[in-house]
C-alpha cells in the first residue's frame, strides 16, 4: 500500500486537492449564497488586488482631471453658451413639469399610494471587475467604512447597474443586472406588465415572466417596479429590443440596459431610501379641516376630549374639536384619542385619505352638510390645495392670518366639497 501511494504520489495529491475543493464547493452550494464561510479568502484576494486598482484609478483620474480642467479647454465658451440656453429651456419645462407632478401627487394621495424616495446616495468609482465572463460583477471603491451594506442598489444617471453583493472594508462587490444570478423586479412603462429582469450566460438582459398573450412592442421602456425591495420604483432599466415566444407560456423579451454596463466608471450607491405617502405641496403636508379651522379660529377654546360636561364650542353648523397634535397622513401615524372627531375621524375613514375631512363626522354623529362649490381663492390660502377639500365661503388670504385680528368664530362657514373625480 505504501509503495502504491509513493508510486502514485502525484496522482494521489491531485486527487486529494481536487476532492478538497469539490467538498468545499459542495458545502458552499448547499448553504446559502450569502454564506460567509469563504469570506476570509475573499478578503485576502480583494485586499491584495484592489490597492493596485485604486492606485491606477486614482492616478488615471488625476491625470485626466489635470488635462481636462487646466489644458484642454477648447470649445468651453461655446459649450457654456449652449448650456445657458439649455438651462433656460429646462426652466420653462420645469414649470410645466411641476404642475404635472403636483397633479400626480394629488392623485396618488387620493389612492393612498406610498412612494419610495432616494434620500441618500453615495458616489463611488469603479475600480475593477471580476475578470470573468461567467461572473459579471464589478468592484467599487466604497465599503463598509463608507456606509455601504449588502443589497443596496447601485445606479448611474442612465439607469440601474446592480446591487451590492459583498462588502469589504474599503471596497464592495456589485453584482451587475446582466449576471445570470441577478434578478430585478421590472415593469414595462406603457403596458404596465410586470416581470423579472435576469441576466443570461452571454451577458444579455431579458425580462421574464411576462405572459405570451400580452402585446409587447420593441422600443418600449422598462423601469423598476420596486417589488424586489432593493431598487426604488420607477428607475430606468432599459429598452425592449426583441420580443419572441419563449418557453412555456411566457414571452422572451430582450432588453438593452439603459446604463452601459461595459463602460462603467462612476456609480451611485443608494444608501438610504424613504417610503412615505406623497406630500401635496413642496414642504407642505396635507391638512385636515380641523387644522385649517384651528388656524382660522384661534378663539375656539380647547376642549378636553374626555370631559363630557364642558360646553360645546361656539360654532355654527360644524362642531370643531381642537386637535393641536394631529399627525399628518404622510407619516402614517394616527393621533392618540378615542372619540371620532373632525380631526380624528372614524376608523374606517383612515388617515391619508383626502376625503376624510370632507366626510368628517361630528361628535354627535351628524355629518357636515355639503354646500356650494368654493369660490376662487388666493393660492397661498387655498385649503382646497390640500388633501382635505374643505373650503370656506369667505376665505382669507394667507397674509391676513397674521396681520388681521382673529376672525370671529361665526364668520367662516366650513363647507365641504366632493373630491375631484
Partner 1 sequence: MPITYTSNEQIEVYRFSLPAAILIPLIALFLQAFIPLRFHFFSIFDLPLLVVIFFAVARRSPVAGLLTGAAIGLLQDSLTGHPLGLYGIAKTVVGYGASSLGVKLDVENAGSRFLVTLFFYVVHEIVYFTVARGLVGLTLQWSWSRELGSALANAFLAVILFALLDRFKQRT
Indicate the residue among 181 and 331 with the shorter CB distance to partner 1. Answer: 181
What count of residues does the chain have? 421
**Binding flag, residue 135, partner 1 (CB under 8 A):** yes
Among positions 5, 7, 45, 190, the unique one binding partner 1 when judged by CB under 8 A: 45
Indicate the residue among 21 and 80 with the shorter CB distance to partner 1. Answer: 21
Among positions 181, 191, 367, 404, the unique one binding partner 1 when judged by CB under 8 A: 181
Q: Smallest distance, Å, CB 135 to partner 1?
A: 4
Among positions 91, 96, 192, 263, the unique one binding partner 1 when judged by CB under 8 A: 263
Q: Smallest distance, Å, CB 21 to partner 1?
A: 4
**Binding flag, residue 168, partner 1 (CB under 8 A):** no
Among positions 139, 231, 321, 392, the unique one binding partner 1 when judged by CB under 8 A: 139
Q: What is the spatial distance between Cα 122 and Cα 120, in angstroms, rounded to a whole number?
A: 7
Q: What is the spatial distance between Cα 415 and Cα 403, in angstroms, rounded to a whole number?
A: 24
Q: Smallest distance, Å, CB 250 to partner 1?
A: 16
Q: Smallest distance, Å, CB 73 to partner 1?
A: 25
Indicate the residue among 52 and 72 with the shorter CB distance to partner 1. Answer: 52
Binding mask 377-396 for partner 1 (x = CB under 8 A): --------------------
The label of the residue with cell 447597474 reads 161
Specify whether the CB–CB gap between 365 and 340 falls below 8 A.
Answer: no
Set of cell numbers at residue 186: 421590472
Range 107-126, binding partner 1 (CB under 8 A)? 126
Range 14-43, binding partner 1 (CB under 8 A)? 14, 17-18, 21-22, 24-26, 28-29, 38, 41-42
Specify whether the CB–CB gap between 271 and 232 falls below 8 A.
Answer: no
Set of cell numbers at residue 101: 407632478
**Binding flag, residue 143, partner 1 (CB under 8 A):** no
**Binding flag, residue 372, partner 1 (CB under 8 A):** no
Indicate the residue among 223 and 258 with the shorter CB distance to partner 1. Answer: 258
**Binding flag, residue 131, partner 1 (CB under 8 A):** yes
Q: Smallest distance, Å, CB 4 to partner 1?
A: 17
Set of cell numbers at residue 193: 406588465
**Binding flag, residue 7, partner 1 (CB under 8 A):** no
Q: Smallest distance, Å, CB 12 to partner 1?
A: 10
Among positions 124, 177, 264, 318, the unique one binding partner 1 when judged by CB under 8 A: 264
Indicate the residue among 9 and 68 with the shorter CB distance to partner 1. Answer: 9
In three-state form (DSSP H/G/I as H, E/B as E, the rest C), the secondary structure along the chain is CHHHHHHCHHHHHHHHHHHHHHHHHHHHHHCCCCCCCCHHHHHHHHHHHHHHHHHHHHHHHHHHHHHHHHHCCCCHHHHHHHHHHHHHHHHHHHHHHHHHHHHHHHHHHHHCCCEEEEEEEEEEEEEEECCCCCCCEEEECCCHHHCCCCCCEEECCCCEEEEEEEECCCCEEEEECCCCCCEEEEEECCCCCEEEEEECCCCCEEEECCECCCCCCCCCEEEECCCCCCCCCCCEEEEEEEEEECCCCEEEEEEEECCCCCCCCEEEEEEEEEEECCCCECCECCCCHHHHHHHHCCCCCCCCCCCCCCCCCCCCCCCCCCCCCCCCHHHCCCCCCCCCCCCCCCCCCCCCCCHHHHCCECCCCCECCCCCCCCCCCHHHCHHHCCCCCEECCCCCCCHHHHCCCCCCCCCCEECCCCCC
Among positions 53, 220, 277, 385, the unique one binding partner 1 when judged by CB under 8 A: 53
Among positions 124, 148, 154, 165, the unique one binding partner 1 when judged by CB under 8 A: 165
**Binding flag, residue 52, partner 1 (CB under 8 A):** yes
Indicate the residue among 131 and 365 with the shorter CB distance to partner 1. Answer: 131
Binding mask 200-239 for partner 1 (x = CB under 8 A): -xx-------------------------------------
Q: Smallest distance, Å, CB 161 to partner 1?
A: 13
Number of residues that bind partner 1 (CB under 8 A): 50
**Binding flag, residue 63, partner 1 (CB under 8 A):** no
Region of residue 75 (left: phi > 0; alpha: psi -120 to 50; beta: else):
left
φ/ψ (deg, to 5) at 387? -60, -40
Binding site for partner 1 (CB under 8 A): 9-10, 13-14, 17-18, 21-22, 24-26, 28-29, 38, 41-42, 44-46, 48-49, 52-53, 56, 126-135, 137-139, 165-166, 173, 175, 179-181, 201-202, 262-265
Amino acid at each position: 500500500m505504501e509503495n502504491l501511494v509513493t508510486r502514485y504520489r502525484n496522482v494521489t495529491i491531485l486527487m486529494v486537492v481536487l476532492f478538497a475543493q469539490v467538498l468545499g464547493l459542495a458545502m458552499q452550494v448547499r448553504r446559502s449564497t450569502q454564506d460567509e464561510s469563504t469570506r476570509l479568502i475573499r478578503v485576502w484576494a480583494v485586499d491584495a488586488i484592489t490597492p493596485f486598482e485604486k492606485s491606477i484609478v486614482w492616478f488615471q483620474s488625476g491625470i485626466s482631471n489635470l488635462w481636462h480642467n487646466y489644458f484642454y479647454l477648447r470649445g468651453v465658451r461655446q459649450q457654456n453658451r449652449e448650456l445657458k440656453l439649455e438651462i433656460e429651456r429646462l426652466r420653462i419645462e420645469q414649470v410645466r413639469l411641476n404642475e404635472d407632478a403636483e397633479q400626480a401627487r394629488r392623485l396618488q394621495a387620493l389612492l393612498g399610494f406610498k412612494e419610495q424616495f432616494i434620500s441618500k446616495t453615495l458616489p463611488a468609482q469603479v475600480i475593477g471587475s471580476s475578470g470573468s465572463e461567467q461572473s459579471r460583477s464589478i468592484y467599487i471603491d466604497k465599503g463598509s467604512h463608507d456606509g455601504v451594506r449588502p443589497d443596496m442598489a447601485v445606479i448611474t444617471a442612465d439607469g440601474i447597474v446592480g446591487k451590492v453583493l459583498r462588502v469589504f472594508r474599503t471596497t464592495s462587490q456589485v453584482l451587475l443586472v446582466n449576471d445570470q444570478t441577478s434578478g430585478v423586479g421590472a415593469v414595462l412603462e406603457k403596458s404596465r406588465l410586470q416581470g423579472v429582469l435576469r441576466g443570461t450566460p452571454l451577458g444579455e438582459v431579458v425580462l421574464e415572466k411576462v405572459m405570451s398573450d400580452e402585446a409587447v412592442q420593441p422600443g418600449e421602456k422598462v423601469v423598476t417596479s420596486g417589488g424586489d425591495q432593493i431598487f426604488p420604483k420607477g428607475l430606468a432599466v432599459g429598452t425592449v429590443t426583441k420580443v419572441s415566444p419563449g418557453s412555456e407560456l411566457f414571452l422572451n423579451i430582450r432588453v438593452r440596459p439603459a446604463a452601459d454596463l461595459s463602460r462603467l466608471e462612476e456609480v451611485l450607491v443608494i444608501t438610504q431610501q424613504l417610503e412615505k405617502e406623497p406630500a401635496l405641496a413642496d414642504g407642505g403636508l396635507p391638512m385636515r379641516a380641523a387644522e385649517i379651522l384651528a388656524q382660522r379660529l384661534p378663539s375656539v377654546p380647547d376642549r378636553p376630549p374626555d370631559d363630557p360636561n364642558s360646553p360645546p364650542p361656539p360654532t355654527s353648523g360644524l362642531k370643531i374639536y381642537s386637535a393641536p397634535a394631529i399627525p399628518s397622513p404622510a407619516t402614517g401615524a394616527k393621533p392618540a384619542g378615542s372619540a371620532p372627531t373632525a380631526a380624528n375621524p372614524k376608523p374606517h375613514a383612515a388617515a391619508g385619505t383626502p376625503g376624510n375631512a370632507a366626510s368628517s363626522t361630528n361628535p354627535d354623529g351628524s355629518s357636515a352638510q355639503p354646500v356650494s362649490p368654493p369660490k376662487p381663492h388666493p393660492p397661498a390660502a387655498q385649503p382646497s390645495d390640500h388633501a382635505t377639500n374643505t373650503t370656506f365661503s369667505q376665505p382669507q388670504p394667507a397674509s391676513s392670518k397674521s396681520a388681521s385680528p382673529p376672525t370671529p368664530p361665526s364668520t367662516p362657514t366650513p363647507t365641504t366639497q366632493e373630491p375631484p373625480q
